[in-house]
Amino acid sequence: MSKKKTKKDLINLEDNQEEQKITTSKLKEKKKKEIKKDNTQEIKESKNKLNIFFLIICLLLLTFLIINFFLNKNYNLNEIIKTGSFFLILLIIIILLFKVNNKKTTPYIILITLILIGYTIFQISYSIPTDLYVKDFINKDISEVIEFTNKNSLKLVTLHEYSDTVLKNHIIMQEYGIDTLIKDIKTFKVTISDGPNYDKEVIVSNLTGCKYDEVIKYIKDNYLVNVEIEFIKSDKLRDTVIEQIGSGSLKRNSLIKFIFSLGNEELDKISVKDLKGLSLFEATSYLKRYNINYELVYEYSDKYEKNYIISQDIVDKVVEDKLILKVSKGKEIKVPDLKKMSNIEITEWALKNNIKIEYKEVYNKETDSGTILEVSASKDDIIDEDSKLIITISKGSLVMPKINDLTEFKLWANNNNINYEEVYEFNDTIKEGELIKTNIQEGEKIIETDTIILTISKGKSVSVPNFLGQSKTSIQSTCQKANLTCTFTYGGLTEATKKDISIKQSKPAGTIVSSKTNVLIILSSGIYEKVNVPSFINKTKTEIQNSCNSLGIKCNFTYNNTYSSVAKDTCLSQDKTGVMIKGSTVNITLSIGPAKTYTFVIDGSLLTLGNPEQTKKTLQTKLQNNYPGVNFNFSFKAVNSGIGLLHPDSQIKVGQNTVIQGKTYNVIIQSSN
């Protein structure tokens, strides 16, 4: 029995073992599934994190590109739409791929991210501007401004001013400072220097006795541009000014001449220095200083400014015959085909080449507005710097404007050389002075031969009454009833008409005029009284004035302009005698009396040797102040020596002189030219 049980137990044991194996297997399988599920969840979470990471990167890139895009001012509506659409499509694709969230989406998200990274690098390299702010162009050449405005698509607006401190064609002032973003502006206004104003009036000192180098520095410091220098032999110290013509208040471009002394000794010949790069004035002054003969040859130069020395044929050697100086005419400027250029291009070309442009606008029915019709220089013509070109531009067809104001219309017609005529007619409905009609209607084309007829209202018609013989009060009442304006003035005394009675009217009775027309009424001042005026010849001014007062007339005194034997203040003539109206005026001519004789002495202290201008000034003060009524005529006569002294032909001489009032005496002073 024990054996049987053991066998059964073995069988049960085997069953239990088998069942245990199955259970263990199931547990293992379950564990594997749980591990796989955990791994899958972990992978899914990892993918989600990766996709979120890529999405964040994409959003940051998009934000960066948008900010930099709007910082760059060189964009337009098309660029905004194109770039915005690109960003939006990529963003939508990324979001859709993220929502799908499977193995296939991740490579696409990575690819799109790489595209955005590449596009961002491209934008940084080529599209995002490096210069976001306006530059400082003060004292810079205009060409730099032109380059800046072209690069940033700005409209350049230029003003011009004279300046003693800023070089010609350089910037004095600019509209925007260096803290201004370029994207915030559309135009850029600058003020360009035209250099010193040579029409400006300055006080020029008298530099007589000054040394050569001091004078040259003074000329440059004061921008004097019309100076002549001459050297002559003299007893004065070499290189000093012995005579100056022109001083005091003068324009900078007024002629001023300095004459320097060469001394008395024979000049040694010197080796001529290199004059290249000096101004023509500096170079020629130097050559005159050392008595070197020279000849000027002009040619164009891109390197040297106008009127500056380009080269010379002899340097550091003695000039035996003549020195040849080549002088710059400035840049050789070839005129482009301006008719094919825009106004902006023409302006830029003119600014770069220092050319002045004058635009002339005319109406032309055969061309569109803005078309260039004519240029004062043809293509390939050679012109100099500072030349002026006149460009005629079409304003298109001229049409009849709407007339709101007759004064404005007349100004418009005159400015456009349009003929017009004014005709007037009475009108009961349109006020006086207002337009009734025109022969050409608003908007119609006008040609040069047309004449515009303006029909203007004279207002309502009124017949002028007869006011003659009526009193002032009666006339005022009649004028008011007739709708006229009457003004009054007095016409003087009459023979028979009482005061305030009309004796004349400005518009005859029955004249047809417009309402409110002014009619001037002349009233009598009353009946005049007659007096008998005697002859006043040979009577004194006091006697005549007393007679005039007692007669009730006015006496008007004037003096004869020539001397005579008749005593001063004695009547020479009168314009009226006999019966005349009381209150009339009689013109009386009085004698200025006999001419006086003056005797005076001219001594050497009044004469300035070497300075004829000073001699003239001294003599003028003495003669004109002390001898009234005597005429002195001053002039100069060239001599070789004794400059500043009186010439032998002078009527006023050193020593005793006698002059008579009313006569003219020539005062001749010796000068160098």
Domain residue spans in the chain?
A: 38-127, 142-193, 201-328, 333-396, 399-457, 461-523, 530-590, 597-671
Task: Please name every residue paired with 488 in a beta bridge, in sequence order, or none if there are none.
Answer: 521
Three-class DSSP category at 108: helix
Can you tell me the distance from the alpha carbon of 616 to that of 667, in angstroms, rounded to the nearest whole number?
A: 9
Cβ pair 392, 374 in contact under 8 A: yes
| Percent over 90 (pLDDT), the chain | 49
- E strands of 271-394, at which residues? 294-299, 309-312, 323-328, 333-334, 356-362, 372-375, 382-383, 388-394
Q: Do domains 142-193 and 201-328 have the same CATH topology?
A: yes
Would you say residue 539 has pLDDT above 90?
yes
Would you say residue 84 has pLDDT above 80?
no
pLDDT tier for residue 672 given thresholds of 50, 70 and 90: confident
Three-class DSSP category at 619: helix
| Domain 201-328: assigned CATH number | 3.30.10.20
CA dist list (Å): 367 to 373, 398, 424, 471, 505: 8, 11, 37, 68, 58
560 burial level (CB within 10 Å; 0-12, 13-18, 19+) = middle
Q: What is the mean pLDDT of residues 104-129?
A: 62
| Domain 333-396: assigned CATH number | 3.30.10.20
**Contacts of 539 by beta carbon, 8 Å cutoff, 6+ apart:** 547, 570, 571
Highest mean pLDDT among 449-458, 523-532, 661-670: 661-670
Among the residue ranges 100-104, 209-213, 391-395, the one predicted with the least confidence is 100-104
pLDDT tier for residue 238 given thresholds of 50, 70 and 90: very high
Among the residue ranges 21-35, 341-355, 584-598, the one predicted with the least confidence is 21-35
| Percent over 70 (pLDDT), the chain | 81
**404-407 contacts: CB < 8 A, separation 24 or more?**
406/433, 406/435, 406/454, 406/456
pLDDT tier for residue 74 given thresholds of 50, 70 and 90: very low
pLDDT value at residue 475: 94
Q: What is the mean pLDDT of residues 372-394?
A: 88
CA dist list (Å): 415 to 138, 317, 361, 408, 418: 39, 64, 11, 11, 8
Determine phi and psi for 340, rounding to 5 degrees: -100, 5
| Domain 461-523: assigned CATH number | 3.30.10.20
Cβ pair 57, 90 in contact under 8 A: no
- Nearest to 190, CA basis, from 169, 206, 221, 208: 169
Cβ pair 158, 347 in contact under 8 A: yes
Would you say residue 22 has pLDDT above 50?
yes
Strands 372-375 and 388-394: antiparallel
Q: What is the mean pLDDT of residues 144-151?
A: 89
H-helix segments, 101-133:
105-122
pLDDT value at residue 2: 46
Strands 333-334 and 530-533: unpaired
Would you say residue 111 has pLDDT above 80?
no
Task: Please name every residue paired with 100 in a beta bridge, in sequence order, or none if there are none.
Answer: none
Would you say residue 317 has pLDDT above 60?
yes
At 69, which helix (H) or strand (E)? helix 2-71
pLDDT tier for residue 323 given thresholds of 50, 70 and 90: very high
Dump the DSSP string for 45-63: HHHHHHHHHHHHHHHHHHH
Can you tell me the distance from the alpha carbon of 242 to that of 256, in angstroms, rounded to the nearest whole number?
A: 14
| Domain 399-457: assigned CATH number | 3.30.10.20
Q: What is the mean pLDDT of residues 151-177?
A: 91
User: Two tokens at 287?
Assistant: 């050559």
Among the residue ranges 100-109, 449-458, 641-650, the one predicted with the least confidence is 100-109
Q: In the CATH hierarchy, which fold is given to the domain comprising 530-590?
A: Trypsin Inhibitor V; Chain A (3.30.10)
pLDDT value at residue 449: 80
Better-predicted residue by pLDDT, 329 or 366: 329
Exposure string of 241-280, with b = 16+ CB inside 10 Å and e = fewer, is bbbbebeeebbbebebebbbbbbeeeeeeeebeebeebbb
pLDDT digits (tens, 9 = 90+) for 560-589: 988 888 999 999 999 999 988 888 899 999
Strands 631-638 and 664-671: parallel
Cβ pair 559, 570 in contact under 8 A: no
pLDDT digits (tens, 9 = 90+) for 251-273: 999 999 999 999 888 888 899 99
Can you tell me the distance from the alpha carbon of 110 to that of 449, in angstroms, rounded to the nearest whole number?
A: 77
Can you tell me the distance from the alpha carbon of 181 to that of 185, in angstroms, rounded to the nearest whole number?
A: 7
At 295, which helix (H) or strand (E)? strand 294-299
Helices then strands, counting H and E runs in the chain, come out as 11, 35
At 154, which helix (H) or strand (E)? none
User: Two tokens at 549?
Assistant: 């007062």
Can you tell me the distance from the alpha carbon of 104 to that of 106, in angstroms, rounded to the nearest whole number?
A: 6
Cβ pair 560, 592 in contact under 8 A: yes
Q: In the CATH hierarchy, which fold is given to the domain comprising 142-193?
A: Trypsin Inhibitor V; Chain A (3.30.10)
Q: Which amino acid is at 372?
A: I
| Rg of the chain over all Cα atoms, to the nearest angstrom | 51
pLDDT value at residue 166: 93
Q: How many CB atoms lie within 10 A of CB 613?
A: 19
Cβ pair 604, 636 in contact under 8 A: no
- Nearest to 664, CA basis, from 614, 636, 624: 624
Mean of the per-residue pLDDT values of the chain:
85
- Residue whose pair of structure tokens reads 């050193």 in the numeric block: 654
pLDDT value at residue 3: 45
SS3 content of the chain, % helix, strand, coil (to 5): 30, 30, 40
Three-class DSSP category at 618: helix
Would you say residue 97 has pLDDT above 80?
no
Looking at residue 603, what DSSP letter applies?
A: -
pLDDT tier for residue 60 given thresholds of 50, 70 and 90: low
Cβ pair 117, 90 in contact under 8 A: no
pLDDT value at residue 64: 61
Can you tell me the distance from the alpha carbon of 403 to that of 438, in angstroms, rounded to the nearest whole number?
A: 10
Q: Which amino acid is at 130?
A: T
How many angstroms separate the most distant Cα atoms in the chain?
203
Would you say residue 633 has pLDDT above 90?
yes
- Nearest to 522, CA basis, from 485, 470, 478: 470
pLDDT value at residue 19: 64
pLDDT value at residue 120: 62
Can you tell me the distance from the alpha carbon of 523 to that of 534, in angstroms, rounded to the nearest whole number?
A: 31
User: Two tokens at 445?
Assistant: 């084309």
Q: What is the mean pLDDT of residues 242-249?
A: 93
What angle is formed at CA 490 by the lines to CA 487 and CA 495, rounded to 5 degrees? 140
Among the residue ranges 24-33, 217-226, 494-503, the one predicted with the least confidence is 24-33
H-helix segments, 422-490:
472-481
At 285, which helix (H) or strand (E)? helix 280-289
Q: In this structure, is the dihedral angle defined by the CA atoms of residues 165, 167, 173 and 176, taken in order, positive or negative?
A: negative
Better-predicted residue by pLDDT, 285 or 114: 285
User: Two tokens at 566?
Assistant: 């008749």
pLDDT tier for residue 73 given thresholds of 50, 70 and 90: very low
pLDDT tier for residue 4 given thresholds of 50, 70 and 90: very low
536 burial level (CB within 10 Å; 0-12, 13-18, 19+) = buried
